[in-house]
Amino acid sequence: MMAVTSDVVPSILAEDPETLRHLAALAESFAPYVQFDFMDGVFVPSTSISLADVAALDFGVPWEAHLMMKNPADYLPACRDAGARKLIFHLEAAPHPEEVIAVAREQGLRVGLALNPETPFVAAVPLLNAVESLLFLSVSPGYYGRPFVREVLDKIMGFRRLYPNVSTGIDGGVKCANILEIARTGVSQICVGSAIFRQPDPAASYRALLALIKGGP
């Protein structure tokens, strides 16, 4: 049996500054690391809070930015100014991903690539040496609560057989019912949104998810 070594990363998706402040305060009370999601209404159909909204927070927890946005290079200075430690951008959203990575390095940011469920991992292979991680989307991006695409687990396991030393993550559709199966793929990070923040007690939900994978066989 593969050892379970994943961590749970709360993923905050907010459509307005008031909701953002509420979710950020919750996350700050229990999470050592957080992901904020940003959407432009172009790459994905929905819009969200902006990097300026996050910059306005007095947020004391290290965080990364998941940019579900077209032309991600345009947002990198704002990522830096808002305090992001790392940015993750979608390969599908960047015609010239090498340029995005180069600009991010100039801004002092760590970099991860994200792949939509239908994108084969071979599309990211030429860039693996230039980034810190690869994030596999297990839902079609843009909303909390979209259906989990289970075939992504096979994609992750296929990738990890070939590239076992690359840090990987998964984002979308994670619940108590599937998190242990997800963790057994060997992903480093499991990003969780609605299964934490749409529950009556988000802190307890976070701890329950973490206990499931840390206590699993």
Query: Is the distance from CB of 38 to CB of 51 less than 8 angstroms?
Result: yes
Burial class from Cβ neighbours inside 10 Å (0-12, 13-18, 19+) for residue 205 reads buried
Q: Which two tokens stand for residue 208?
A: 């329950």
What stretch of H or E contains 90? strand 86-90
Query: Is the distance from CB of 38 to CB of 50 less than 8 angstroms?
Result: yes
Paired with 40 in beta bridges are 47
Which is nearest to 172 in space by CA: 110, 93, 118, 208?
Answer: 118
Interacting residues of 76 by C-beta distance below 8 A, sequence separation 6+: 87, 100, 103, 104, 107, 109
Active site residues: 37, 171
Could you count the other beta carbons within 10 Å of the beta carbon of residue 217? 7
Which is nearest to 150 in space by CA: 182, 121, 122?
Answer: 182
Interacting residues of 189 by C-beta distance below 8 A, sequence separation 6+: 6, 7, 8, 9, 133, 135, 167, 168, 169, 170
